[in-house]
C-alpha cells in the first residue's frame, strides 16, 4: 500500500503543551532563557510551585464601609422594635413601649447616617414612621379601652 504523502512521526507534544502523563517534570533550576526583564537566572517564584506569600507591612485590612464605629444596627433595631410595637399595639403598654423605643433608635440611626457613620438612612426613616404609627395606634386603643370602661 503506497501513498504519496510523506510519513511524519507522531508529535511529542500536543496542541496544549507536553503531555503531563508522559514522565516526570524537569527539575527546577535556573532559567537559561532571558525573561521579560532581560535577566537570566532563577525565577522569583518558589521551586515547588507554591503560592508566593503576601507581603506584610503597614497595610491593614478593614471591612468595607465608613471609617469608625458603624451605627447601621440602630436603624434596624429601631425598625424591629417599631414593628413589634404595631403588632403588640392591642396591648396598650407594650405597643406604646415598642413605638417609643423604635422612634428613639430611629432618631439615633438617622443622626448617625447624616453624619456619615451609617449607611442605612432609609431604614431609619422607615423605623421612625412605623414607630409613630405604633404610638398613635396604641394611644387610640388605650383611649378606646378607657372609654368603654375596661380601664
* CA–CA separation, 28 and 44 (whole Å): 12
pLDDT for position 58: 56
Q: For residue range 59-102, what is the model confidence (pLDDT) as tens digits?
A: 555 555 555 555 678 999 999 999 999 999 988 789 999 999 99
**Main-chain dihedrals φ then ψ at residue 90, nearest 5 degrees:** -75, -15
- Assess contact for 88 and 95: CB atoms under 8 A: yes
Nearest to 75 by CA among 23, 111, 115, 36: 111
pLDDT value, residue 116: 86
What predicted TM-score, i.e. pTM, was given to this entire model?
Answer: 0.54
* Domain range list for the chain: 73-135
Q: Grid coordinates representing 144? A: 378606646
User: What are the pLDDT digits (tens) for 93-140?
Assistant: 899 999 999 999 999 999 998 988 888 899 999 999 999 999 999 999
Amino acid at each position: 500500500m503506497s501513498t504519496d504523502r510523506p510519513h511524519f512521526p507522531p508529535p511529542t507534544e500536543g496542541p496544549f503543551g507536553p503531555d503531563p502523563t508522559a514522565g516526570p517534570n524537569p527539575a527546577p533550576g535556573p532559567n537559561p532563557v532571558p525573561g521579560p526583564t532581560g535577566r537570566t537566572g532563577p525565577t522569583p517564584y518558589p521551586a515547588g510551585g507554591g503560592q508566593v506569600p503576601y507581603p506584610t507591612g503597614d497595610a491593614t485590612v478593614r471591612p468595607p464601609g465608613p471609617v469608625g464605629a458603624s451605627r447601621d444596627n440602630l436603624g434596624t433595631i429601631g425598625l424591629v422594635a417599631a414593628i413589634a410595637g404595631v403588632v403588640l399595639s392591642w396591648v396598650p403598654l407594650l405597643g406604646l413601649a415598642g413605638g417609643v423605643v423604635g422612634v428613639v433608635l430611629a432618631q439615633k440611626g438617622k443622626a448617625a447616617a447624616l453624619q456619615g457613620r451609617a449607611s442605612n438612612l432609609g431604614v431609619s426613616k422607615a423605623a421612625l414612621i412605623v414607630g409613630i404609627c405604633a404610638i398613635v395606634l396604641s394611644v387610640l386603643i388605650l383611649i378606646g379601652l378607657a372609654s368603654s370602661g375596661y380601664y
